[in-house]
Chains A and B, each alone.
Chain A
Amino acid sequence: MAEGILFDIQRLSVGNGPGIRTTAFLKGCQLRCAWCHNPESHAPEPDLKYMKNICHFCGHCARACESGALALRDGALAYDGAACTRCGACSRACPYGAMKISGYRIGAEALAALFLRDKEYYDASGGGITLSGGEPMAQPDFLGEVLELSGQMGLATCVDTSGYCPDGAFAAMLEKTDMVLFDVKHMDPARHLEYTGVDNAQIFQNLITLAGSGKPFCVRFPMIPGYNDDEENIARTCAMLRGLHVESVDVSVFHDYYLAKYAQMFRPEDAPDIRPYTEEEIDQRLELIARHGVKPNRV
């Protein structure tokens, strides 16, 4: 049985497909989007997260650490990520819950069993389960098995993907899921490479496959100030969507609530420095999308 690694499970999750859903966030992603709000989703291994505002600076974590990765110095906690083995001893030692290991391994069956607990809620709402990330396609065996097991239990399934994966893996996933949420980030290959670290050719190839597959799907556009919200990119994106007979797009508007998260991961300096939109700016851009013939749904 395949085992995967998650960084979060949300029950009654909102914005990850229709109805009431349980969403599992799979850890690890090949993309490094310049605006990423989930730094803990990047690495395919566990990470340490530290909530400073409930820390009592008691030093139990540092004493419990066998690799010398943590030290209490001048009333602050210092962390050496290279030395840290992510063993979780600090988290277990912290009485206050201020230290958390983000990333835990779970078998496909155990995850499916957890999904099943809320079946009545999915059934009552037309909901189901969503596998998101990170990038769920980065753990294809685990993903496939969870989808199969969930399907056998009568749960409606959904995969939320960046679309960055080989054709074969994508097609295999499509066979097993009931629905797909698909991110479109930038139309220009060079810009896409610059902002996300990967080329977009494979992504669009998969989007075309998806559009022709007959599977229900939803395109999502993370709208980021100064990155992909210029008229040219919006026009091209909309034209491409119209070409695929996609009538509407979910627009996820940039926010900077991630600032605290990067700090929790001891890397505040990596937090993207992007100024959030004003409401007026958001409305202008949504209008622009509408003008280009695609209905924007703000999510």
Chain B
Amino acid sequence: MKERINRLRKLYMESPTRAIFLERTLLLEEAKRKYEHLDRGSLYAAAMAYVLDNMEAEIREDEYIVSTMKQTLLTEEQEEWYAELCADNNFKAVLLMGFDPLRISKSIGEQDDIYYPEWFCSYGHNVGDYPRVLKLGFSGLAAEARERMKDPALGGTQKTFLENCIVVCDAMTRFGLRYSEKARELAEGAQTEEERRRFRTIEETCKVSPGLPAQTFRQAVQSVWFFHMVQAALVGCRDYSFGRIDEYLYPYYKADLEAGRITREEALEIIEEWYIHESEFIGYAFDVKGMKRIPNYDCIQYIVLGGTDVDGREVCNDISFLAMEAWMDLENIKTPQIIVRWFRGMNQDLLDCAVHMNAAGKSTPSFFNEELIIKALVQYGVAEQDARIFAYYGCNNVVIPGLEDNLRESWHNGPKYLELALHAGVDPVTQKRIGPKTMAPGDMQGIEDVLGAFREQLAHALYLDRQDHSRCDQIWHAMKPFSYESLFGTDCIAKASSLDAEGSRYRHCNIEFMGIATLADSLYALNQVVFVEKRFTLPEFLEILAQDWAGHEELAMHIRNHYPKYGNDDDAVDIFAKRVGDMLVEEVGKLKPLYNGRKAYASFYSMMWHRHMGVDVGATPDGRHAYEPFSENLSGTYGLEKNGPIGALNSAAKLPLDWTPSGAHNVKFLPATVKGPEGEARLKACINAYMEKGGHQIMMTVADAEELKRAKEDPEAYQNLMVRVFGFSDYFISLWPDQQDEIIARDTMVL
């Protein structure tokens, strides 16, 4: 890593956590007062142009790639003013996103200390058609809009939309030129030849970026950075992704190489600087000092590498490798997270490189099974050539870049639906009826009756979900007749309409269904205890759950330790996961698209909501105590995946993953499994085999010393960690404390 890059990294790491992008806040407030009389779309465009024209074009030491949010610490007085401002202006994601159709969770909070003016901000979460804007430049885009304006058939709203496009495109062009101008001034006063060269480079680059079509790799990266920085930090929200950078940046790099304008090392340095700038606005520093109060706080930004293009040709080039090398070189960065599109017969060097990063404990890249994702998208009605260009934004949400509007997702508390099914629709925690009145528990004769009631509860929640999204979409439609994101919509200028209206070709909502393992384990246990072993009647057993196992602790432990658990490749319990999974896919499939064509996509995903939403669910039949987290994503219950990664993967592969284009499966590997070239070969084989078996996504973590320390403190929660040395194997928790310490200190490789 170059010393310059290291200094830039240091600068960012030392930035104060409490700083905000004050300049943006002040300028937006000024702009609002100035343009309040305009219609919503024009207000947005005029305000955005105002901010772009008045933001300081700051060029910091050591930078070659310019433009960032300026970070300022507030005085005490300003803090009060800022708090009021947020309270008065902010949009409520909960109201606008239809998060939780049954309104079960009380824990969904809002970031009330971040300035998100409702008239301006979006919900983020999108991947734009960056390649198109790279090719055209904002001036080219404006020209297209001007051309489009000539169409006499356009309606008034359409014309206004195009006018707003032109306003913002022109402002973006001016924005870049102001950096060029600033660099020219600085070059004149530069003290050293080196500095002068740096400023000249910026001057030349920003003469082109982002207004004109990029010609070189440096210009292309600078343009992409302008696109993205403005989107994430200024317009603001989280989790925009760069999409398939190796596909769209490689032509610029290749042309430079051929013309002798760039070396591979220089390209690596450009990418590294880009990553550092990106890390600056994900909301926290390397050492997680706490989240920053910026629009894209705590966000994850993805890049997508590899896979095949729209014509089925493999995308694998030097940019794919440089993108990973930069990550390894920078060490300890959090962003971008890398996604590799896996397919049968993919370039093995690319796969090896991605596997190597994982074996080194980086927990990135994750892998998506291209064939399966395309199949799923096509099944949901996406045209195949459009499905082929899929990408992802955080967290693990599928998107067709440039053709879709922003994320819609709702969180479905699977274990709560079982609870409702077991109480005829009444939430036993609050005693309120929130589900339909299904069969009384006393009348249930077998597990099929339970599953039947569960289906009805699920269907009802999905129905409410549709209502929510219908309402939300109408609000968004009215609220966002124009958005900066629409400039990156492939069809928006042609349709003369924003992504939130007719500018998007596809719209979907992810039905994020949580707790699949908790459900499978619960259904198995319930069936066993009540209907097979007949230890209790169902009402008796429900009373035990209502008392949170009080007086029956041993029963809970018995269920936990003796009954089969999802995540171990045991068909006896996995069949329940499959039943529930199929049910979800069927019920989602029955939903009619919303008025704007928005479809629902099934997904097994919890992100961190299994913890937040676990607090709303009482004890479950799998031995879980009330209000504890439930299982995560596609994984088994914590500590109960005792057959290692393959057991976990085989259980998941039984689910209908060809209907879930989004979602994730975290798999924990032990260090001994992945060490050395043989270990990496094993890891690679695990990915290949899981995908062959119908897996759709895999993200890997390698157990580390911190985890072992926790295991030592809490052995019952970590019964799955095995120590294996050449034919010897034992549970980590059974080792003697001094040996545990030894392994923690220096020998995690035996795990």
Contacts and interface: CB of A to CB of B under 8 A. Distances in A.
Partners in one complex: yes
Interface of A: 8, 10-16, 19-20, 25, 37-38, 51, 53-54, 58, 60, 92, 94-97, 117-118, 120-121, 123-125, 127, 132, 160, 252, 255-261, 263-264, 299
A10 B727 CA distance: 10
A124 B739 contact: no
Given A53-B734, A95-B555, A19 B729 contact: no
A12 B726 contact: no
Nearest to A10: B729
Given A10-B724, A95-B561, A118-B650, A257 B730 contact: yes
A60 B673 contact: no
Given A12-B644, A53-B715, A58-B554, A127 B725 contact: no
Nearest to A220: B726
A31 B98 CA distance: 67
Interface in B706-751: 715-716, 719, 722-731, 733-736, 739, 750
A264 B684 CA distance: 36
Nearest to B692: A120
B163 interface: no
Contacts of B690: 120
A123 B688 CA distance: 10
Contacts of A252: 725-727
Nearest to B724: A14
A127 B650 contact: no
Interface of B: 553-558, 561-562, 569, 643-647, 650, 672-673, 679, 681-682, 684-686, 688-690, 692-693, 715-716, 719, 722-731, 733-736, 739, 750
15 contacts: A12-B673, A14-B679, A54-B719, A95-B555, A95-B562, A97-B561, A120-B692, A121-B685, A121-B689, A125-B685, A257-B723, A257-B728, A260-B734, A260-B735, A260-B736
Nearest to A181: B727
| Most chain B C-beta atoms within 10 Å of own C-beta, residue among A14, A261, A299 | A14
A160 B728 CA distance: 13
B727 A120 contact: no
B727 A38 contact: yes
A298 to B, nearest CB: 10
A160 B734 contact: no
B734 A51 contact: yes
A250 to B, nearest CB: 8
Q: Is the interface of B mostly helix, strand, loop or mixed?
A: helix
Instruction: Give me the 4 closest cross-chain CB pairs, A-B, nearest first.
Output: A125-B685, A97-B561, A95-B557, A124-B685
Nearest to A93: B558
Contacts of A264: 734
A95 to B, nearest CB: 4
B735 A257 contact: yes
Nearest to B739: A257
Contacts of A16: 727
Given A14-B672, A53-B715, A95-B558, A299 B726 contact: yes
A20 B725 contact: no
Contacts of B684: 124-125
Given A54-B733, A92-B562, A264-B734, A117 B557 contact: no
Contact of B685 (A19, A97, A256): A19
A38 B715 contact: no
B692 A124 contact: yes
A281 B733 CA distance: 28
A98 B633 CA distance: 29
B734 A96 contact: no
Contacts, number: 125
A121 B649 CA distance: 11
A51 B561 contact: no
Given A97-B562, A125-B681, A255 B725 contact: yes
B123 to A, nearest CB: 40
Nearest to B653: A120
B672 A261 contact: no
A172 B689 CA distance: 33
Contacts of B553: 95
A113 to B, nearest CB: 11
Given A54-B715, A92-B562, A260-B735, A15 B730 contact: no
A185 B66 CA distance: 66
Contact of A20 (B569, B685, B722): B685
A288 B650 CA distance: 44
| Most chain A C-beta atoms within 10 Å of own C-beta, residue among B643, B646, B723, B727 | B727
A96 B645 CA distance: 23
Contacts of A54: 715-716, 719, 733
Contact of B716 (A92, A96, A120, A256): A96
Given A95-B561, A125-B684, 18 more contacts: A11-B647, A14-B724, A15-B724, A16-B727, A20-B682, A20-B685, A20-B689, A92-B562, A95-B553, A95-B555, A95-B557, A96-B557, A97-B562, A97-B719, A117-B650, A260-B735, A264-B734, A299-B726
A12 B686 contact: yes
A255 B692 contact: no
A257 B722 CA distance: 12
Nearest to A51: B734
A259 B643 CA distance: 24
B413 to A, nearest CB: 28
B569 A123 contact: no
Contact of B646 (A8, A11, A58, A95): A11
A258 B725 CA distance: 10
Nearest to B645: A12
A124 to B, nearest CB: 4
A257 B750 contact: yes
Contacts of A19: 681-682, 685
B730 A261 contact: yes
Contact of B673 (A14, A51, A58, A96): A14
A235 B719 CA distance: 43
A146 to B, nearest CB: 18
Contacts of B561: 94-97
Contacts of A37: 725, 727-728
Contacts of A124: 684-686, 688-689, 692
B715 to A, nearest CB: 5
A2 B445 CA distance: 41
Contacts of B729: 8, 10
B369 to A, nearest CB: 13
A127 B736 CA distance: 33
B730 A127 contact: no
A125 B682 contact: yes
Given A11-B647, A118-B646, A121-B646, A51 B731 contact: yes
B4 to A, nearest CB: 39
A299 B690 CA distance: 27
A57 to B, nearest CB: 13
Nearest to B736: A260
Nearest to A7: B729
A14 B643 CA distance: 14
A15 B725 CA distance: 8
Contacts of A299: 726
A110 to B, nearest CB: 13
B227 to A, nearest CB: 39
A20 B557 CA distance: 33
B554 A60 contact: yes
Contact of A123 (B681, B689, B716): B689
Given A96-B557, A117-B569, A124-B692, A15 B726 contact: yes
